[in-house]
A and B are shown apart, each in its own frame.
Chain A
Amino acid sequence: MIALLDYGAGNVGSVLKAINYLGHAAQAVDQPELLIKATKVVLPGQGHFGQMMTALDERGLRDPVSKMLASGVPYLGICLGLQALYESSEEAPGIRGLGVLPGRVKRFEGVFKVPHVGWSQIEVRRESKLLAGVPTGSFVYYCHSYYGPVTDQSAATTEYGQSFAAAFEMDSVWAVQFHPEKSSEIGLKVLRNFLDS
């Protein structure tokens, strides 16, 4: 079973729709008991870092998710679901992320328009299964005010005022800052890469 982590806000519906369109079943999950059965986990975030982490805590989902990340259950984080992997975020000082990635999520600075809403190109930095068939220069849809710093693990980056992490693939832990469910054919390809992995 593919579990879509449902923390009460966000774009669960549109991600579910895209997964179904690609011929897979998935279930919105908001309890740890249901999560245990999951063979894959998707965290389709949207909204506020602090609210998301707090909601995961309140539902008792933080520890099971951390355990799954550590034990190799395939994970796909989308947007805030990527940011959740860092240690913390400037959006919510004092609230811990999942800490799989070092560093802190930052707010865009030095650009006139924030949030970054619309289509930007990715630059592929290292080979990944997640971005198979998605070359440098592909346009994907973004909607965010905060970004994850680039690390050695970044599979792709995007430029918006500064270079930020567009995608990660660390063994079974995959994540994208953009919205594959809103990125037309390219986005569906990214989702398919995860679903078929």
Chain B
Amino acid sequence: MFAKRIIPCLDCKDGRVVKGVQFVDLRDAGEPSELAEMYNREGADELVMLDISASREGRATLMDTVHRVAQKLFIPLTVGGGVRTLDDAHRLLAAGADKVAVNTAAVETPELISEIAGRFGNQAVVVAIDARRKTSLQGEDGQAGDASSNKAQPYWNVLTYGGSRKTDLNAVEWASRVEALGAGEILLTSMDADGTQRGFDCELTGAISNAVHIPVIASGGAGGLEHFAEVFKRGAADAALAASIFHYGQHSIRSLKEYLFAQGVPVRLI
């Protein structure tokens, strides 16, 4: 059995996990290495750390944080946020990351994907794509329609700079292009669903996952256990990533996996 992966995400700033964390059994709930260990014990299949530090000092702290997290973590670790050069990627990998995630820099300098893949292997490059549904001139609301409606083909734009800047890139085409450039996986975030806790964008995820031959990690919108089952079944996701649903202790990774297993989704139970 080949398992669908559950990946908790640690958003880090200046060496601390932000977005709020509520765990009673941790001495210091915002400490990335403690959270990483806890998620590993709970059965997380991988871990993603995204650095959202704005400052140079914050970035320097990141290397130290990655090193500390990696020391006792024996599952794959992906680190992203502000990776702009081959050298940035090299430093993160040397600090103990197994993969680096590139987003804005990949859009601005697509060769970066090939450079990192050429030097460290395709498996080391995760291209993060932030996508937003393009609303039509008729003012459609951008909600997923059912297959019987006469709506035009859906279209998603790629956004950069943490979702703040729109590009002309079509997300599905961009996904195929990053695969050709050497990306090993795609971390796909729906900017429409992100933060809503109303479920992943299964239409977007399916459109991308069926267009490429590399794994797609769905992100954005997880609120309940059923959302994960949906994105694996309807969205053809290979993995699903979430942050707050785990950090706030609404659901543990263990209980999520038990639920998914009962729903017939292949998962690694420990």
- Which residues does A use to contact B, with CB under 8 Å? 9, 11, 13-14, 17-18, 21, 46-47, 112-121, 139, 141, 143, 159-160, 181-185, 187-188
Task: Check if B45 sits within 8 Å of A119, measured CB to CB.
Answer: yes
What are 21 contact pairs spanning A and B, CB under 8 A?
A9-B121, A14-B98, A112-B213, A113-B238, A117-B185, A117-B238, A118-B3, A118-B45, A118-B215, A119-B3, A120-B1, A139-B270, A160-B2, A181-B74, A182-B74, A182-B75, A182-B76, A183-B74, A184-B40, A184-B75, A188-B74
What 18 additional pairs, Cβ within 8 angstroms, besides A13-B94, A119-B3, A184-B75?
Answer: A11-B98, A14-B98, A46-B121, A46-B123, A117-B184, A117-B215, A118-B45, A118-B238, A119-B2, A119-B5, A119-B268, A139-B270, A141-B76, A182-B74, A182-B75, A184-B40, A184-B74, A185-B74
- Binding site of B, secondary structure by majority: helix, strand, loop or mixed? loop
- Give A118's nearest chain B residue, CB to CB: B5
Interface residues of B in 208-261 (CB under 8 A from A): 213-215, 238-239
CA distance in complex: A46, B75 (Å): 16
Q: Determine if B72 is an interface residue (Cβ-Cβ < 8 Å).
A: yes
Q: Which residues of B contact A114 (CB under 8 A)?
A: 213
Q: Which interface residue of A121, A160, A184 has the most chain B CB atoms within 10 A?
A: A184
- Give A140's nearest chain B residue, CB to CB: B268
Q: Which residues of B contact A116 (CB under 8 A)?
A: 2
Q: Determine if B70 is an interface residue (Cβ-Cβ < 8 Å).
A: yes
State how many angstroms separate the Cβ of A117 from the closest Cβ of chain B.
5
State how many angstroms separate the Cβ of A55 from the closest Cβ of chain B.
14
State how many angstroms separate the Cβ of A123 from the closest Cβ of chain B.
10
State how many angstroms separate the Cβ of A7 from the closest Cβ of chain B.
13
User: Given the interface contacts A13-B96, A139-B268, does A113 sit within 8 Å of B213 by beta carbon?
Assistant: yes
CA distance in complex: A119, B43 (Å): 12
Q: Determine if B205 is an interface residue (Cβ-Cβ < 8 Å).
A: no
Q: Which residues of B contact A47 (CB under 8 A)?
A: 121
- Give B239's nearest chain A residue, CB to CB: A118
Q: Determine if B189 is an interface residue (Cβ-Cβ < 8 Å).
A: no
Task: Check if A115 sits within 8 Å of B184, measured CB to CB.
Answer: yes
Task: Check if B96 sits within 8 Å of A17, measured CB to CB.
Answer: yes
User: Given the interface contacts A17-B96, A118-B5, does A141 sit within 8 Å of B75 by beta carbon?
Assistant: yes
Task: Check if B98 sits within 8 Å of A182, measured CB to CB.
Answer: yes
Task: Check if B1 sits within 8 Å of A21, measured CB to CB.
Answer: no
Interface residues of B in 176-204 (CB under 8 A from A): 184-185
Q: Determine if B153 is an interface residue (Cβ-Cβ < 8 Å).
A: no
Q: Which residues of A contact B65 (CB under 8 A)?
A: none
CA distance in complex: A11, B122 (Å): 13
CA distance in complex: A181, B76 (Å): 9
State how many angstroms separate the Cβ of A163 from the closest Cβ of chain B.
13
State how many angstroms separate the Cβ of A154 from the closest Cβ of chain B.
18
State how many angstroms separate the Cβ of A111 from the closest Cβ of chain B.
9
- Give B74's nearest chain A residue, CB to CB: A184
Q: Determine if B71 is an interface residue (Cβ-Cβ < 8 Å).
A: yes
Q: Which residues of B contact A117 (CB under 8 A)?
A: 123, 184-185, 214-215, 238
Q: Which residues of A contact B71 (CB under 8 A)?
A: 17, 21
- Give A11's nearest chain B residue, CB to CB: B98
CA distance in complex: A101, B69 (Å): 38
CA distance in complex: A183, B74 (Å): 6
